[in-house]
A and B are shown apart, each in its own frame.
Chain A
Amino acid sequence: MDDDDVSYDESLKARIKASVHYTVGKICQREESEMGVKCSKQFLAALAELTYGKCGSLASDLESFAKHAKRSTIQVEDVKLCARKNPSLAKLVAEKATDLEAETQERLSKKRRKDNKPADEDGESASDAAPSAAVASAATGATHKSKKVRQA
């Protein structure tokens, strides 16, 4: 039983490494013509191993960051922290994070529109949404006020 677990772990690790190797190959292949050099197979293997190791150390960093923030979910902020020591890298990562967030928002709004369409028309649902949001904010405002009043 234990032997099976170990061999399963080993084969999973080998498969992950193979996958990393493949992706590193793809990335380097694309850059080869731009840089005007070729990559030897041994170089790719070494770089794949290095990348795998780096990803593992990134994982433990992310774990520590999330734990320090008393969270059990790795957030985008944690990844940004990993790049904090290198200003240009931090800038790059922050820009990508903004892009990703915009992408996610777009996908969400598209999905929402799709979900709403069968029920009623777009214009109607939009006009429905606006007042409810206003009501919600008014309600929270009211609770804040009442809290303040109570405190006073």
Chain B
Amino acid sequence: MADAPLPTFKPALIEKIFEQSWGGRKLRTASDSTRLTAEFMRVFVIEAMGRAASVAKAEGSDTIEPHHLEAVLPELLLDF
């Protein structure tokens, strides 16, 4: 299981989001920095899910619903 590569964001996708946010201003990205950002976003997703999961479990629910994410959102955004 550990052998399979972890699912993560493609560097090209990260770059597209960056370009869209920069709106035509000329900036380049080193290839390592897009891959590092991908890892950053992967950790962000897993952390969000983990925190929401613990709220869901505390409620006695097996399924994570949007309001569980809502409950952890402020602290999550402070930590990232």
CB distance from A44 to the nearest CB of B (A): 9
Interface residues of B toward A: which range? 35 or more
Main secondary structure of the interface of A (DSSP, over half): helix
B residues with CB within 8 A of A: 6-10, 13-14, 16-18, 20-22, 25-33, 35-37, 39-46, 48-50, 52-53, 56-57, 62-66, 68-70, 73, 77, 79-80
For this complex, 26 residue pairs linking A to B, each with C-beta atoms less than 8 Å apart, are: A16-B20, A19-B10, A23-B13, A27-B7, A27-B49, A35-B53, A37-B53, A37-B62, A38-B63, A40-B65, A43-B63, A43-B68, A46-B70, A51-B45, A51-B48, A54-B44, A55-B14, A55-B37, A59-B18, A62-B33, A63-B27, A73-B27, A74-B18, A76-B33, A97-B36, A104-B32
Pair B79/A89 contact, Cβ less than 8 Å = yes
